[in-house]
Chain A
Amino acid sequence: MPDIVFIKLFSTLKRFARGGKTQFTLDWHPGMQARDILDTLKIPGTTERVILVNGRYSEPEKQIAANDTIVLFPPMTGG
């Protein structure tokens, strides 16, 4: 079994779903960064998104470990 990472897409970023799924896994590889996941999902650099890795806000350069959970959603706040 290859190592994997868990991906969850929310709100407007659901449009980058894979095979109709907004929660799925991707294969992990050594040296993997959050940026690689954005590239794999074809999320353009101009798309506003918040990247959470295991609940912590992260930049695209964030190193991803096997079994990490990566959550992607657009910036918003409530009133």
Chain B
Amino acid sequence: MYGWRGKLLRVNLSTGEIAVAPLDPKVAKDYIGGRGLGIYLMNKEMDACCDPFSPENMLIMATGPLTGTKAPTGARYMVMTKSPLTGAITCSNAGGKFPAAFKQTGFDAVIFTGKSEKPVFLVMENETARLEPADHLWGKTTHETTDALLTQIHGNAKVACIGPAGENRVLFASIMNDKDRAAGRSGVGAVMGSKNLKAVVVNGNLPVTLADEEGFKAVTKKFSDTFRKAAKENPPALRLHGTAVTVMATQNYGVLPTKNWQQGSFDNWEKIHGETLTKKYLVSNSACFSCPIGCGRKTKVDEPGFEGQGEGPEYETVYAMGSNCMIDNLAAVTKANYLCNEYGMDTITMGATIACAMELYDLGLLTKERVGRTLEWGDAQALVELTRLTALRQGFGETLAQGSFRLAEQFGRPELSMVSKKQEFPGYDPRGSQGMGLAYATSPIGGSHMRGDPAYFELLGVPKVIDRLEWKGKANLVKRWQDFFCVIDAAGLCVFYSVRNLSNLELEILPTGILELINAATGAAYSLEELALAGERISNAERQFLVRAGFDRKDDSLPPRMTKEPLPDGSAKGSVCHLEEMLDDYYVLRGWSDNGIPGPEKLAELGLA
């Protein structure tokens, strides 16, 4: 096969058995790869009702046909499993250098089942793999683990691993690759920890062969030239100031979540803005494999108590740990981000859970005795201390390690957890961005901006603006963008580049540029309709898993703060999110029942019956 490697690696951690299986070309074409391949395997081979920490749960790391090619941003891989945070699927996506190196081992994906008796790590080399003992790595941070493995395994190795948070099964533990790139969300690291799998080391040198090398080169050059020319006229803001530059946009729109989503704007927003990060802490920007943007931030903080060096923070971290906790101390936010990277935890859920705890404390439901310290809004020291305790499950960290929903539920106020499907929202208030509310509610992983991101057309005018406060007509756009994002994720590309450079740039978005790249790479001769349909197939296959796991309309929800409490401030003041109205439209457009179950006709159309 071209583009695809045509090989899946299967690792049974209970028996230690390792096998190589072929990738069926029809499955590859129908599901593309990455996220699509992951859900195909989970639907076929796994009990959707299983305990996420049981040996039955599958943990899949999957690349796409464009991962590791010279396609712009062909740098991504996907981690899929059943989430211990949500009980739904995960689609935790990461870039960096690891995914491209993964592809050079000659495999499209690795599928872990079972549970090892003792800590192990997997080494993947050219079409072979082996398990090795990891007792000496257990307890080490992601940075220490990576350094140790790069000393132990010679060659051009890259590492993805868990830190203490994953070992301790913190429900939102991440898998970190290249030290600071995160498959961050939904607790993929906790599942890895439950399997006693500390790390995956990829160490291959098999170049990805393409169906039409010259054609692919020409298509890649076309996109690169266009991007370079445009960047001269319009320097990419993400390169200059990182994603945290978005603070300025959400603040001005009044959708910057503040004080556990009690407000939509933060008076001290300039102190946590991306430009402030650039001025005070930026060492250099960094780029993933084959990325022309380079939004990554290498930073260094010298302030006493918050000293450190690493990567971040991203916008979502700045919202969750900054404005949402009323913390305007960017050094503290950056330090807490470093700790999340080193211990291996999702910064969004960590910050949002602390914000929820701050509200419970403010209400007198959570006491100083219970927390082990005071927990006022804006307490930068508390942010850093509680982040560390959470990773280690010490003291009040044991409670925070369950995420905000279980925390708020424990104190009788589950509605104070700002989640969908028990996963915390990213930083765009859906009361001032209606489509975002529908996207959060219907995302297969719970609160997420990366499963279809209406901020593009509601806040940023990409490809053109739609009234952000209007709910009518949003269901169609959310559906189209969700399916488009499935194609991006399955192909192995980055959303940031793909939306603006590899689509038809229409509201009814289509993967036109991805089509050119993927056909030259794979020779699979997709039509545009087939490729777009593959995206819809992935969305529906994911929904099938959720339905089998017991999810339906009741779970496509937002907390009452979003649907009943009008935004009290900012430029979207007075607005609530009209979720139920949008959901009715959405299910009809999806061909799902009014309870959110895919109908037989839709499943037949997609070959999923």
Nearest to B463 among chain A residues (CB) is A75
- Most chain B beta carbons < 10 A, residue from A12, A78, A79: A78
Which of A12, A46, A50, A79 meets B249, CB within 8 Å?
Answer: A50
User: How far, in angstroms, from A57 to B254 measured CA to CA in the complex?
Assistant: 12
Nearest to B233 among chain A residues (CB) is A46
Chain A residues whose C-beta falls within 8 Å of the C-beta of B274 in the assembled complex: 11
Contact A50 B461 (CB under 8 A): yes
Known: A76-B245, A78-B243. Is A11-B275 also a contact (CB below 8 A)?
A: yes
Chain A residues whose C-beta falls within 8 Å of the C-beta of B216 in the assembled complex: none
Chain A residues whose C-beta falls within 8 Å of the C-beta of B240 in the assembled complex: 11-12
Give chain B interface residues in 224-255, CB to chain A under 8 Å.
233-238, 240-241, 243-246, 248-249, 252-254
Known: A47-B233, A47-B234, A55-B572. Is A79-B449 also a contact (CB below 8 A)?
A: yes
* Minimum distance in angstroms from B365 CB to a CB of chain A: 32
Interface of A is mostly: loop
Chain B residues whose C-beta falls within 8 Å of the C-beta of A46 in the assembled complex: 233-234
Nearest to A46 among chain B residues (CB) is B233
User: How far, in angstroms, from A6 to B133 measured CA to CA in the complex?
Assistant: 64
Contact B460 A78 (CB under 8 A): no
Contact A12 B234 (CB under 8 A): yes
Contact A75 B316 (CB under 8 A): no
* Minimum distance in angstroms from B489 CB to a CB of chain A: 13
Chain B residues bordering chain A, tally (CB within 8 A): 41
Nearest to B317 among chain A residues (CB) is A78
Which of A54, A71, A75 meets B460, CB within 8 Å?
Answer: A75
Give chain A interface residues in 36-71, CB to chain B under 8 Å.
44, 46-48, 50, 52, 54-57, 59, 71
- Interface residue? B570 (CB, 8 A): yes
* Minimum distance in angstroms from A9 CB to a CB of chain B: 10
Known: A55-B572, A73-B248. Is A79-B237 also a contact (CB below 8 A)?
A: no
Contact B571 A55 (CB under 8 A): yes
- Interface residue? B549 (CB, 8 A): no
* Minimum distance in angstroms from B452 CB to a CB of chain A: 12
* Minimum distance in angstroms from B493 CB to a CB of chain A: 13
- Interface residue? A10 (CB, 8 A): yes
How many residues of A sit at the interface, in one of the four size bands?
Answer: 20 to 34
Nearest to A74 among chain B residues (CB) is B237
Nearest to A10 among chain B residues (CB) is B248
* Minimum distance in angstroms from A69 CB to a CB of chain B: 9
* Minimum distance in angstroms from B456 CB to a CB of chain A: 6
Contact A75 B241 (CB under 8 A): no
Chain B residues whose C-beta falls within 8 Å of the C-beta of A11 in the assembled complex: 237, 240-241, 245, 248, 274-275
User: How far, in angstroms, from A79 to B212 measured CA to CA in the complex?
Assistant: 33
User: How far, in angstroms, from A47 to B234 measured CA to CA in the complex?
Assistant: 6
Contact B453 A77 (CB under 8 A): yes
User: How far, in angstroms, from A57 to B253 measured CA to CA in the complex?
Assistant: 9
Contact B461 A57 (CB under 8 A): yes
Query: A-facing mask of B314-353, CB < 8 A → 1, else 0?
Result: 1110000000000000000000000000000000000000
Show 8 residue pairs from A and B whose CB-CB distance is below 8 angstroms, ordered by the A residue: A11-B241, A11-B245, A11-B248, A50-B461, A57-B465, A71-B252, A75-B237, A77-B246
Q: Ordered nearest first, which 9 A-B pairs have the shortest CB separation?
A: A55-B571, A78-B315, A78-B243, A78-B246, A75-B460, A76-B237, A48-B234, A57-B465, A74-B237
Hey, which bits of chain A sit against chain B, CB under 8 A? Answer: 8, 10-12, 44, 46-48, 50, 52, 54-57, 59, 71, 73-79
Hey, which bits of chain B sit against chain A, CB under 8 A? Answer: 233-238, 240-241, 243-246, 248-249, 252-254, 274-275, 295, 314-316, 427, 449-450, 453, 455-456, 459-462, 465, 468, 495-496, 500, 570-572
| Known interface pairs A75-B462, A79-B295, A79-B315; 19 further A-B residue pairs with C-beta atoms within 8 A, sorted by A's residue number | A12-B235, A12-B237, A50-B461, A52-B571, A55-B252, A55-B572, A57-B465, A73-B248, A74-B237, A75-B237, A75-B460, A75-B500, A76-B237, A76-B245, A76-B246, A79-B243, A79-B449, A79-B495, A79-B496
